[in-house]
Amino acid sequence: MSTGPVDPTTTPAWEELAALAAGFTPDLRGWFDDDAGRTASLTHQAGDLHVDLSKTFLRDDVLAALLDLAAQTGVVERRDAMFAGAHINTTEDRAVLHTALRLPADASLTVDGQDVVADVHEVLDRVGAFAERVRSGTWTGVTGKRIETVVNIGIGGSDLGPVMAYEALEPYHQDGLTCRFISNIDPTDAGQELKGLDPETTLFIVSSKTFGTLETLTNARLCRSWLLDHLPAGSDPEAAVAQHFVAVSTALDKVAEFGIDPDNAFGFWDWVGGRYSMDSAIGLSLVIAVGPERFTEMLAGFHTVDEHFRTTPAADNVPLLMGLLNVWYTNFLGAHTHAVLPYSQLLHRFPAYLQQLTMESNGKGVRWDGTEVSYDTGEVFWGEPGTNGQHAFYQLIHQGTRLIPADFIAFARPAYALADGDTDVHELFLANFFAQTKALAFGKTADEVRAEGVAEDLVSARTFPGNRPTTSIMAPELSPGVLGQLIALYEHLTFVEGAVWGIDSFDQWGVELGKQLAQQLRPAVSGDADVAAEQDASTQSLIRYYQEHRG
C-alpha cells in the first residue's frame, strides 16, 4: 500500500460514533420490546456459524456509523490487499497470507513471483504422507517399535494453536497415539511431559518458525539428550535422532545444523505469522493425531470463512461486524477486556490461543507508518469454559462496575452424549448458556426482586442491572470444519480491528526487548559480578536473592 494509514479519529464516522456514545444508554429490554425483528435482523450466518448479535450494543444508528467507519478507514481495501499478497506487514516488509494455507489445490495465487498454492500443497502432501506413516506404524523408532507418543516442542504460535486444536478435536484422535506439548523453558515443563514416556516409541517434532527461539531450542536439546540417555544401550545416536526427531520451520538450514535430516523437515514461509500458522506444517502433531483427512476438513472450514469475509457485503459480513463492534466497545464505551466463554470443555485452550492471536496482533501503540495512535488499541482477551466460569468470575460480569463484552460459544450436538437417568446432560449444559446470556442482557429489576418477597434491605444486592452485552455463536457440532471456521472468524475480526486502528497486526516487536535482556543478564544469574553490577538496583537485588536461596 502506497498511502499511509488513516487516523480513524479524523473521520466523520468517528465523530458520529463519539456523539452517539455521549448520549448512549443501552436498553436491551426496551430494544427487544420495541423491535420484534431485532434478533432476526442481527443474526448472521458464516458457514456453519450462527452468530446472534442481538444481545450486543448494536443499534441501527451505531451500526450505520460503524460501517461508515470501516469504509472511511479503508478496511475493505486492506482486506483485499491482504488476500492478494500485498506486503501489508510493513514493519517486516512481508505479505500476510495465512489465507493461502487453506486455498484449495486448484486455486491460483502468485505472490512475489512464486506460485503460493503449489508450494502450500506440496508441503501439505508431504505432511500428510508422513503423518500416515506414523499413524500406520510404518514409521518406527530406531529400535523398530511403532510411535505411540508425539511430543511437539514449540512456543507461542508453534504451540498454542496445535495444542488448542489437539484438545478441541479429541474425539477424532487415533487410538494408541497421544500428543504432548512442551513449550516453557521452565524445566518443569519438559520434566513433567517426559515423565513416563518410552523413548523407543516417542517422536519429537521441533516446531519453530525461526528455529532461533531460545525456549524451543533449549527444550529440543534437552529432549535429544533425554532420548539418547534413555534408549537401550548401543543405539546409534545419529540414527536415533533421525528416527525420533522431525522439524517444522521456515529456516531449514538451521534445522539441518541441529542435526535433523532435511528429509524429515517440513517448511513454511515468512508470509505466515507465527500466531496464524497452526494450519501450516506447524499443525503436524494435529495431523498425526486426527489424520490428514480431518485436517483437510479443518482447512476447508477456514477457507469457508475466508470466502465469507472476502466476499460478503459489509452489512452481513460477520468478522467485519464483530470487529467493528469491538471497536465500538473499546474506543467509545470504555471496555478494556473481552471475555470468550466456550460452552464446550473441548475448547478449554481456545481463550489462551486467542490471547496470542488478538493481543500479539493488536497490542500496538503506533500505526503501520510509525505515527503514534491517540486512541486505545487491543483488548485484553480472556476466558474459561462455561459452566466453570459461572462459579468463578461471572459475578463481576453480572454485577460489577465494568463493561465486559463476552462471546458465548456452543454446539447443538455434544461430543459425548451422556445421560443421567432421564436427564440429557448436554441439554442441562445448554440451558446454562441460554440462561447466562439472558440474565446478562435483561437482568432482574428491583421490582422483580421485591415481588419474590426479598427483604427491602437486600433488594439492591440482589438486583441485576442487565445490559451486559454478549454475542452468541452456535454451530451444529465441534467438527474439524467448524473449528477451522471459528478460528478464521477470530483471525479476521482481529484483522478488522487492526485495520480500523491503522496498525500493523502482523509484527510483534514488543516481545524482543525481554529476549535481548535475558541474554544480557544471563551471566549475572550465574555469578558474573561485572554483569550484575551493570543492572539496576532492583534487578541486582532479585538476582542476589536467587543466589542466596538456590541451595
Q: How many residues bind ligand G6P (CB under 6 A)?
A: 14
Q: What ranges in 279-372 are assigned the alpha helix state H?
A: 284-290, 292-311, 318-327, 350-354, 361-362
265-267/43-46 β-pairing: unpaired
State the Cα–Cα distance between residues 148 and 144, nearest whole angstrom: 12
Rounded to a whole number of angstroms, the minimum distance from the CB of residue 155 to ligand G6P is 5
Judged by CB under 6 A, the residue of 178, 184, 210, 445 near ligand G6P is 210
Q: Which of residues 157-196 bind ligand G6P (CB under 6 A)?
A: 157-158
Q: CB of residue 172 vs ligand G6P: minimum separation in angstroms?
A: 25
Q: Are strands 265-267 and 245-249 parallel, antiparallel or unpaired?
A: parallel
Smallest distance, Å, CB 151 to ligand G6P? Answer: 16
| Catalytic residue flag (residue 44) | no
- Is residue 511 a contact residue for ligand G6P (CB under 6 A)? yes
209, 294, 338, 492: residue in contact with ligand G6P (rule CB under 6 A):
209
Q: What are the grid coordinates assigned to 231, written together?
A: 534408549
Task: Between 213 and 362, name the residue whose CB sits nearer to ligand G6P.
Answer: 213
Full DSSP string of 528-546: -HHHHHTS-HHHHHHHHHH
CA distances in angstroms from 210 to 104, 273, 361, 385, 422, listed in the order given = 26, 11, 18, 32, 54
For the chain, the distance separating the N- and C-terminal CA atoms, rounded to the nearest angstrom, is: 57
Return the C-alpha torsion angle 341, 342, 343, 349, nearest 10: -120
Contact of 371 with 175, CB cutoff 8 Å: no
Minimum CB separation from ligand G6P for residue 25, in Å?
A: 41
Name the percent of the chain in helix, strand, coil, to the closest 5: 55, 15, 35
Q: Quick one: 90 or 183, whose CB is closer to ligand G6P? A: 183
Q: Which of 360, 379, 491, 497 is catalytic?
A: 360
Question: What's the closest the beta carbon of residue 158 comes to ligand G6P, in angstroms?
Answer: 4
Distance CA 31, CA 111 (A): 48
Q: Which is nearer to ligand G6P, 264 or 304 (CB)?
A: 264
Which residue is catalytic, options 293, 427, 515, 534?
A: 515
Shortest approach of ligand G6P to residue 161 CB, angstroms? 9
Tally of CB atoms within 10 A around 549? 7
Range in contact with ligand G6P (rule: CB under 6 A) among 11-19, 208-216, 403-411, 412-420? 208-216
Minimum gap (Å) between residue 208 Cβ and ligand G6P: 3
Regarding 274 and contact with ligand G6P (CB under 6 A), the answer is yes
Distance, in Å, from the CA atom of 549 to the CA atom of 551, rounded to the nearest integer, reads 5
Judged by CB under 6 A, which stretch of 37-45, 63-71, 202-210, 400-408 contacts ligand G6P?
Answer: 202-210
DSSP 410-446: EESS-SS--EETTEEHHHHHHHHHHHHHHHHHH-B-H
Site string for ligand G6P, 132-161 (x = CB under 6 A): -----------------------xxxx---
Catalytic pick among 391, 452, 512, 549:
391
Pick one of 149, 216, 219, 471: the residue that binds ligand G6P (CB under 6 A).
Answer: 216
Smallest gap from residue 181 Cβ to ligand G6P (A): 13
Q: CA-based Rg of the chain, rounded to a whole angstrom?
A: 25
50 pairs with which residues across the strands?
45, 474
All three cell numbers of 492: 479476521
By CB under 6 A, is residue 213 in contact with ligand G6P? yes
The verdict on 89 binding ligand G6P (CB under 6 A) reads no
Q: Is 391 marked active-site?
A: yes
Residue 351 interacting with ligand G6P (CB under 6 A): no
For residue 380, give the DSSP letter. E
Residue whose CB is less far from ligand G6P, 210 or 218: 210
Judged by CB, which is closer to ligand G6P: 172, or 211? Answer: 211
> Nearest distance from residue 217's CB to ligand G6P, in Å?
8
User: Please, which residue, 92 or 132, has the CB nearer to ligand G6P?
Assistant: 92
254 is catalytic: no
Residue 508 in contact with ligand G6P, rule: CB under 6 A: yes
| 360 near ligand G6P, rule: CB under 6 A | yes
Per CB under 6 A, 208 contacts ligand G6P: yes
| Nearer to ligand G6P among residue 213 and residue 285 (C-beta) | 213
Q: Which residues of 322-359 are buried (b: 16+ CB within 10 A; e: fewer)?
A: bbbbbbbbbbbbebebbbbbbbbbbbbbbbbbbbbbbb
Return the beta strands (E) in 396-527 as ranges: 406-411, 419-420, 423-424, 470-475
The footprint of ligand G6P (CB under 6 A) covers: 155-158, 208-210, 213, 216, 274-275, 360, 508, 511
Q: Which residues are catalytic?
A: 360, 391, 515
